[in-house]
Amino acid sequence: MNGGDIRREWFDKDYYQVLGVPKNASAAEVKKAYRKLAQRHHPDANAGNKEAEERFKEVSAAYDVLGDQDKRKQYDQVREMAASGFGSGGGAGWPGAGGGRVRVEGFPEGFDVSDLGDLFGGLFGGTGGRSRGRQAARGGDLQTEVRLSFDEAMEGATVPVQIRGPAPCPTCHGSGAEPGTSPIVCPECGGSGQVAVNQGLFSLARPCPRCRGNGRIVEHPCHGCGGSGSVRRTRRFSVRVPPGVRDGARIKVAGRGEPGDAGASAGDLYVVVRVAPHQMFGRKGSDLTVELPVTYPEAALGAHVEVPTLNGAVKLKIPAGTPGGKTFRIRGKGAPKPKGGHGDLLVTVRVDVPTKLSRDERRLLEELRAAQQASPRRPVEV
């Protein structure tokens, strides 16, 4: 239910009676009745007749609600609510003035009682039946960036962070009160942060105007922050970045954001990590990737070659006949994992083709080509 569309006169005006139709009238019947009455009482047909003019306005207002499906549904709910009875006494409801309560039983089937908050707020400009007053606001979150080399990201690092912005006042430690004094309970609302406003049929709760919903008042504001509890300054501290952190990762540092209202917690700081690329290694999740150049004889005849890793080279066997693009997996030589252990190193073979050949190298390759051409080719299987 959209409280902003609801009008207070809906409690008093029976629009069905205004149009002379029953409550279960169809949309076509409502429209027909409106046209008949509008034509009869139109100002053009009743020049100078104030009574007819007022009647025309009343008919138009009734059709504006009953002729709109959504408004008609809301209007029916409001009328059912009013007919079910409001007043002091028991039953579920909200505190009213003088200890009375607004009864909320007996609503029509399908009516959402939680809509009453929006309904009352729309009718009377309050904060709604469910208002509890403005709670002390938590501080806002902050975000900053740090940059690491690839090696630092793999090993983990402690990095300095500098933040410029609101911080708890060092004089009053965020209370807003002058040292030696303390905020007092608001005498207007008794510390609840809200006051009851009598609206005749209803008693609504609104944020206390004296303490602005905080429930406390600073009688002697801190000379360092003027009572706000915070000052703008530069804060410096260190943040531990875990090993294996990925580029773009966000590290949460609890309580290092902006200070909250007096009595509320501070926000959090989020540190975004930017990792510089490595000249040799790439990354896929917790796995590292590397390209391994091998010579044609090594790929054709097989070989044991050294492969670089994060902590020194290891030997890798290249089987005879290994094609270019073949990828080998070396277990446990990847990036550190958040929950322990390491990923793998994925080694992709790249066959190096020399651009310049010595006389002997050219002679040997020509002999190899001649031998391959002379050998019978295997039939292609279909």
Three-state secondary-structure class, residue 155: helix
User: Which range is least confidently modeled, 43-52, 107-116, 173-182, 252-261?
Assistant: 107-116
Beta bridge partners of residue 303, listed in sequence order: 318
Residue 382 above 60 pLDDT?
Answer: no
User: Fold identical between 3-124 and 282-374?
Assistant: no
42-53, pLDDT tens digit by residue? 877 887 788 888
302-330, pLDDT tens digit by residue? 999 999 999 899 999 999 989 999 999 99
Average pLDDT over residues 16-38: 89
Residue 104 above 50 pLDDT?
Answer: no
Confidence of residue 165 (pLDDT cuts 50, 70, 90): confident
Query: Quick one: pLDDT at residue 363?
Result: 81
302: which 2 tokens? 């097989």
Confidence of residue 286 (pLDDT cuts 50, 70, 90): very high
C-alpha dist (Å) from residue 13 to 5, 8, 10, 74, 354: 16, 9, 5, 14, 95
Confidence of residue 381 (pLDDT cuts 50, 70, 90): very low
* Nearest alpha carbon to residue 131 among 143, 116, 145: 116
182-206, pLDDT tens digit by residue? 888 888 888 888 887 765 555 567 8
Return the ∠ at Cα 117 (arms to 130 and 209), rounded to 5°.
60
Average pLDDT over residues 153-172: 89
Name residues whose C-beta falls within 8 Å of residue 1's C-beta, 6 or more positions apart in sequence: 74, 77, 112, 115, 118, 119
Positive or negative: CA dihedral 236, 237, 243, 245:
negative
**Pairwise pLDDT comparison (377 vs 191), residue with the higher score:** 191
**3-124 CATH pick, 1.10.1040.10, 1.10.287.110, 3.40.50.1010, 1.20.1250.20:** 1.10.287.110
Query: Quick one: pLDDT at residue 112?
Result: 47
**Pairwise pLDDT comparison (347 vs 38), residue with the higher score:** 347
Quick one: what percent of the chain has pLDDT higher than 70? Answer: 78
Quick one: what percent of the chain has pLDDT higher than 90? Answer: 27
What φ, ψ does residue 377 adopt, rounded to 5°? -80, 145
Domain 282-374 listed as CATH 3.40.50.300: no
Hey, where are the domains in the chain? 3-124, 282-374
Query: Quick one: pLDDT at residue 231?
Result: 86
What φ, ψ does residue 208 adopt, rounded to 5°? -65, 125
